Amino acid sequence: MYSIFVKLMEAKGVTPADVAKATGIYQSTLSNWKKRQNYLTAKNAKLIADYFGVSVDYLMGVEGPEEPPV
Mean pLDDT of 4-17: 96
Mean pLDDT of 13-42: 91
pLDDT of residue 35: 87
- Residue 36's pLDDT band, with cuts at 50, 70 and 90, is confident
Mean pLDDT of 33-45: 85
| Between 4 and 69, residue with greater pLDDT | 4
Residues 6+ positions from 11 with CB-CB distance below 8 Å: 68, 69, 70
Asked if residue 65 has pLDDT above 90, the reply is no
Asked if residue 56 has pLDDT above 90, the reply is yes
Q: How far is CA 68 from CA 23, 29, 33, 60, in A?
A: 19, 22, 19, 12
